[in-house]
Chains A and B, each alone.
Chain A
Amino acid sequence: MSIVVIAEQRQGKLNRATWETVAAAQQLAGAGTPIAIVVAGSGVGAVASELAAAQVKEIVTTEHAALEPYTPDGFTAALQQAIEQLAPAMVLLPHTYQTRDFAPKLAARVDRALITDVTAVKVDGGQTVFVRPMFQGKLSADVVPQGPPPHFVTFQIGAFRADQAARGASPAAVRALSVTIDASQLRQKPEAPFQEAKQAVDLSQAERIVAVGRGIKGQEHLPVAQKLAEALGAELAASRPICDSGWLPMERQIGSSGQTVAPKLYVALGISGAIQHVVGMKGSRTIVAVNKDADAPIFEVADYGIAGDLFEIVPAIVAELNK
């Protein structure tokens, strides 16, 4: 039985996370299991050609005018038909916001297992086991799908590396698979995507970042972090709850719903390290974490950690820097 990868594209532009999913598929397939990459949309020829570079059996396009723009109703209808025709053992997707919007509907429609946000794959006693975070990253779970195939699996962004997806000696075959969609049955009517405000700060260009989380306790304590940022020549940023509370503007948010950064130095103050934050900063060259909970998940990605009260430690660091 084969493995299907569902590619993600928007307006004819491929989402790079698709390559990460291809890498995951190649690891799972081993030798002998064919991989097909399915591209759904309208005007996806360029995306299909780009993906044909991958070492896979084939690229399958399901083109339909009703698939542009994306709607969960349209994608569920199209992909259900594609999966029924291809009859794979597994269907793999990147764990993006778009996947989260339609994959549970698709899996429920065909009543098959869906394992989300997977970070690694293991084989344990001949059984394929998927590793996923639980309880905000405090625990990991080894999970196995139940019930008949296909099993749907979504991979956390960054869990596999795009540059590790093997390229083929010659381009893979591209074939079109026709699907029927009744456009009048699509209930969601999307408008054009937009950005809220011109990004005043581009944190992705910052060399150093000091980020605060719930541990800062209140807006009135922000100067503690601000002073460290000044001493380091760093930009001030935050995890989502701080921006939700309005203590810092949304444009300073790091994480899956905010900016993705990879500065030379990232200092996380009072940030527990929930995965939604970590995906936005784990590429940083050097990570420092200060947190009162020595078991906080942020220490798993940190190079240097101090377990303690940030209100005592941060002023001490500022004093040391200013010596």
Chain B
Amino acid sequence: MKISVCIKQVPTREWQPRLNDTKTWIREQDASYEMNEPDAYALEEALRLKEKHGGEVVVCSAGPARVAQVIREALARGADRAIHVEDDGLASADAFVVAAALADAMRDERFDLVLTGLQSDDQGFAQTGVVVAERLGLPHATIIMDVQVNGSALRVKRELEGGWFQWVAMPLPAVLTIQSGINQLRYATLKGIMAAKKKEIRKAAPPATAAAARQKIVRLYVPEKGKKTHMIAGSPAEAAKELVKRLREDARVI
């Protein structure tokens, strides 16, 4: 089975946001980056499917040169090769533009299955995987917690809200967006890291006629507080005393 995994490089969880001069995007040069977490689960699921059914896992990422960091990491975890659609503008592009770049780069590969995370930890559109499916003309399912492959038949467990699930069958090839927690992640071994250095990363140019951007950020800012939060300072013992007093006397919840 030939599986593609679309991964995105996003700022780390510890990153403290700083804005660019026009306050329309982050200062990319200040950020440290990592693999988008739901994409890491998608990669793990692809590696497990390959172990069970054989075949090949190809990671595909769209972004500037720095994206090579997460591509190398995916190769070190066990992906066989990679496609990198390299373009500086893709770091801040909307889901339609990124999905068009990914779909164009993947089309001729004729993958049996395309996996990606359900959304990214940066812009959080929750659109890219579904738009890739539409552009490739493939069926899709979203927020998936289990993947079963039997020949050319696919059966997936889709998460609904409030603890409900649903099995959905569909033919291959197909596109799935993977939910975090579907599996337990593996980490790269030293052997994997060494092997990754010899693996192919094919550079793909972005589409000659780029898809039109469908949304524009006019201002980016730290959110205004919706609620007046009483911040309690002091040593742990002092803060604890003050908090318990407030909860007893003002909030009256204990």
Contact = CB atoms under 8 A, between A and B. Distances in A.
A248 to B, nearest CB: 12
B127 A195 contact: no
Identify the interface centre among A116, A240, A246: most chain B CB within 10 Å of its CB: A116
Given A144-B218, A304-B247, A308-B239, 16 more contacts: A113-B215, A114-B127, A116-B127, A129-B218, A135-B122, A141-B220, A143-B215, A143-B218, A193-B160, A251-B163, A258-B162, A288-B247, A295-B16, A302-B229, A304-B229, A306-B232
B214 interface: yes
Grouping DSSP codes into helix (H, G, I), strand (E, B) and loop, the A interface class, with mixed when no group exceeds half, is mixed
A139 B244 contact: no
A272 B13 CA distance: 9
A182 interface: no
B166 A191 contact: yes
Interface residues of A, number: 93
A264 B237 CA distance: 24
A244 B124 contact: no
A214 B37 CA distance: 13
17 contacts: A97-B160, A114-B127, A134-B122, A134-B123, A134-B220, A142-B217, A190-B158, A190-B169, A191-B168, A195-B165, A208-B254, A232-B254, A265-B247, A286-B247, A304-B246, A316-B237, A321-B244
Contact of B223 (A140, A145, A188): A140
Interface of A: 72-73, 96-98, 100-105, 107-109, 112-117, 124, 129, 133-147, 187-196, 199, 208, 214, 232, 240-241, 243-246, 250-251, 256-260, 264-265, 272, 275, 285-286, 288, 294-295, 297, 299-309, 312-313, 315-317, 319-321
A112 B180 CA distance: 29
B116 interface: no
Nearest to B131: A108
Interface residues of B, number: 80
Contact of B96 (A108, A251, A256, A316): A108
Interface in B195-246: 212-227, 229-232, 236-237, 239-241, 243-244, 246
A146 B124 contact: no
- Shortest 3 CB-CB contacts between residues of A and residues of B: A244-B181, A316-B240, A187-B139
Interface of B: 11, 13, 15-17, 19, 26, 95-96, 99, 118, 121-128, 130-131, 133-135, 139-143, 158-171, 174, 179-181, 184, 212-227, 229-232, 236-237, 239-241, 243-244, 246-247, 251, 253-254
B247 A101 contact: no
B225 to A, nearest CB: 5
B131 A105 contact: yes
Contacts of A259: 162-163
A306 B236 CA distance: 9
Nearest to A233: B254
A305 B222 contact: no
Given A288-B243, A305-B229, A305-B232, A104 B161 contact: no
A105 B128 CA distance: 10
A279 B39 CA distance: 23
B125 A116 contact: yes
Contacts of B241: 320
A312 B236 contact: yes
Contact of B166 (A194, A244, A250): A194
Given A187-B170, A196-B163, A303 B251 contact: yes
